[in-house]
Amino acid sequence: MVKTEVPWRPRVDKKVLEARARLLANIRHFFARRGVLEVETPILSTAAATAPHLHSLVTAYQGPQAPKEGQQLFLQTSPEHAMKRLLAAGSGPIYQVARVFRNGENGRRHNPEFTLLEWYRPGFDHLALMAEVDSLLSLLLGTPVGERLSYREVFHRYLEIDVFTASDKTLARLANAQGFRDGVARGGQARQIYLDFLLATIIEPRLGGERPCFIYDYPASEAQLARIRPPSESCPRPLAERFEVYLKGMELANGYHELCDAVEQRQRFEADLIQRRRRGLSEVPLDEFLLAALEQGLPECAGVALGVDRLLMLQLNSARIEEVLAFPLMRI
Amino acid sequence: MAGYSTSEFKSGLKVMMDGDPYTIMENEFVKPGKGQAFNRVKLRNLKTGRVIDRTFKSGDSLEAADVIETQLQYLYSDGEFWHLMSPETYEQYSADTAAVGDSTKWLKEQDTCTVTLWNGAPLLVSPPNFVTLKVTETDPGIRGDTSGGGSKPATLETGAVVRVPLFIDVDEVLKIDTRTGEYVERAKE
């Protein structure tokens, strides 16, 4: 009988390891020159991300200072909460190269464990931070200045609809015509699901072919942790001051003009928990540390999270994320 | 009825969708940063052979299709149906034109076929990869020409027409690759 070989070897050759090391060195150089401080925060937390589409991996600490039954700890889905606590304590501009974990995510561009570059800029809004992301991409990938499109413009350009006034029915018809198959549990989230589908599978592959594409000013319903700009004369509806960055049809980064209001943040967390309950997802504890920090006062700032593995995929022309990971899921 | 959720979708899985049985060919996980996750799936309709792309919300599921592949012996055709039998249970099945499709031209009585059964009825009949069939009609063979080079059409006992080397004569038995429809060699009897 042939013994099957245990695949202990790294999935990638040394060239990829070297490219990753060079990429990280270039990132650190970029921030050092701009006076942004590198920080490290814990990967483990007693609180979890509340967003209904983020699923945490859970672990348990046992030992000194733990209750008898153990202390439930979550692996971070992003270092956002801890970094905001540093900002509230007066850290000034900070960045981190962090290992983050997402349960349930595995595919061509997803691995349950990956590397996120996250940074925060006091005094910046989302537009100023977009410019800095553009500079970083140009340094790392040699890309020209990126294109900027509002969320509304991008739907108009690629699907010829006004995303804010189109009826749910129109969105449903469009999504179904593009191969979306309505499942059973549609519920009250149908509109959002159609929008996510159209953006992620129809529009996204066409974005950022030659240069980065920045999409900004999202619907208020997709604010996540971004602040919402109230309606004004020039714009009659509230918009989330949030942006995403695409290159060669791949989502690279997600940034916010950060919400600093502790009361509103608590309301959004609680709304998330209601959503989670409705979907039958596990209950997660709110991050009271973050809320306390916001109450004390988070400086006006913008922050962004950028996928380092995907940067490397773009640099090396890789079609699959495991081509840039020494040990992807199947080898751990 | 058993169901499969999107995270179980993998190539070769047989599922029911819109009343038809499908086989999954590819499954790709897609997720926007903080939004709903999807699975982009390529499926082949087992009745029509048509390949389609569908996107599912991750976590949605499809019913399993009661589809199995089995080996059956081809008995005879009555013109409307092709009758097959299980060599183990002796149970008989009849396949219609749609199920047999192009395979008819390779089906010789007593040959064993791969048959896809859906709810116990033949959905797809595939001939063996290689069949041996007698030549019923072709131009007279050219003696001594075994070097290859030229070819000519030959009609076989099942009605199939294949290109054969010039030296082949009527009544010779040939081995044919049904996947490509090509002559392989003279069959040794």
Are residues A105 and B29, on separate chains, in Cβ contact within 8 Å?
yes
Q: How far is CA A126 from the centre of its chain?
A: 14
Segment A45-57 mean pLDDT: 95
B contacts of A193 (beta carbons < 8 Å): 36, 57
Give domain status of residue A293, yes or no.
yes
B contacts of A184 (beta carbons < 8 Å): 60
Domain span holding position A296: 14-146+211-323
Q: How far is B28 from chain A (nearest CA, A)?
A: 6
**Digit-coded pLDDT (tens) for A137-148:** 999 999 999 999
Radius of gyration of chain A (CA): 21
Are residues A199 and B32, on separate chains, in Cβ contact within 8 Å?
yes
Q: Is the pLDDT of residue A186 over 70?
A: no
Q: Is B115 exposed, middle or buried (0-12, 13-18, 19+ CB in 10 A)?
A: buried
**Domains of chain A: total:** 1
Q: How far is A108 from chain B (nearest CA, A)?
A: 7
Segment A187-196 mean pLDDT: 84
ipTM rounded to 2 decimals = 0.90
Segment A111-115 mean pLDDT: 98
Predicted pLDDT at A188: 64
Residues 95-124 in A contacting B (C-alpha not used; CB under 8 Å): 104-108, 110
Are residues A196 and B55, on separate chains, in Cβ contact within 8 Å?
no
Mutant choice from B36, B56, B58, B60 vs A, greatest count of A C-beta within 10 A: B36
What residues have CB less than 8 Å from A32, skipping those under 6 apart?
A: none
Band (A5; pLDDT cuts 50, 70, 90): confident
A contacts of B7 (beta carbons < 8 Å): 104
Residue of chain A with shortest Cα separation from B28? A107
pTM of the model as a whole: 0.85
Q: Is A181 exposed, middle or buried (0-12, 13-18, 19+ CB in 10 A)?
A: middle
Predicted pLDDT at B148: 59
Give domain status of residue A124, yes or no.
yes
User: Positive or negative, the Cα torsion across B179, B182, B185, B187?
Assistant: positive
Are residues B60 and A107, on separate chains, in Cβ contact within 8 Å?
no
**Digit-coded pLDDT (tens) for A219-243:** 999 998 999 999 998 888 999 999 9
Are residues A104 and B58, on separate chains, in Cβ contact within 8 Å?
yes
Report chain B residues touching chain A, CB-CB < 8 A: 7, 17, 28-38, 40, 52-60
Give domain status of residue A46, yes or no.
yes
Segment A195-210 mean pLDDT: 93
Segment A202-222 mean pLDDT: 94
Provide the percentage of residues in chain A whose pLDDT is more than 70.
Answer: 97
What residues have CB less than 8 Å from A177, skipping those under 6 apart?
A: none
A contacts of B32 (beta carbons < 8 Å): 196, 199-200, 204, 251
Residue of chain A with shortest Cα separation from B43? A179
Question: What 3-state DSSP class applies to A34?
Answer: coil
- Taking residue A209's Cβ as centre, other Cβ atoms within 10 Å add up to 12
CATH number at residue A259: 3.30.930.10
Give domain status of residue A284, yes or no.
yes
Provide the percentage of residues in chain A whose pLDDT is more than 90.
Answer: 89
Give domain status of residue A315, yes or no.
yes
B contacts of A254 (beta carbons < 8 Å): 33-34
Predicted pLDDT at B142: 77
Are residues B40 and A104, on separate chains, in Cβ contact within 8 Å?
no
Beta carbon pairs, A and B, within 8 Å: 75
CA distance from start to end of chain A = 25
Tens-binned pLDDT, residue by residue, of chain B (189 aa): 579 999 999 999 999 999 999 999 999 999 987 889 999 999 999 988 899 999 999 989 999 999 999 999 999 999 899 999 999 999 999 999 889 988 889 999 999 999 999 999 999 999 999 999 999 999 987 776 666 578 899 999 999 999 999 889 999 999 999 999 999 999 876
Q: Is the pLDDT of residue A296 over 70?
A: yes
Q: Tokens 């072709």: give the residue.
A: B138
Q: Tokens 């006006």: give the residue.
A: A300
Are residues B55 and A201, on separate chains, in Cβ contact within 8 Å?
yes
Q: Is the pLDDT of residue A292 over 90?
A: yes
Predicted pLDDT at A185: 46
B contacts of A104 (beta carbons < 8 Å): 7, 37, 58
Q: How far is B14 from chain A (nearest CA, A)?
A: 17
A contacts of B53 (beta carbons < 8 Å): 179
Q: How far is B29 from chain A (nearest CA, A)?
A: 5
Domain annotation for chain B: domains and CATH numbers: 3-64 (2.30.30.30), 67-126 (2.40.50.140), 130-186 (2.40.50.140)
Predicted pLDDT at B79: 85
> Which two tokens mark A284?
């997660």
> Which two tokens mark A101?
């974990």
Segment A84-109 mean pLDDT: 97
Identify which of A189, A193, A224 has the shortest CB distance to residue B34. A224
Are residues A201 and B58, on separate chains, in Cβ contact within 8 Å?
no
Count Cβ neighbours within 10 Å for each residue of A67-97 and write b for 16 or more, e otherwise.
eeeeeebbbbbbbbbbbbbbbbeebebbbbb
More confident residue, A177 or B2: A177
Give domain status of residue A74, yes or no.
yes
Q: How far is B119 from chain A (nearest CA, A)?
A: 24
Mutant choice from A108, A114, A155, A196 vs B, greatest count of B C-beta within 10 A: A196
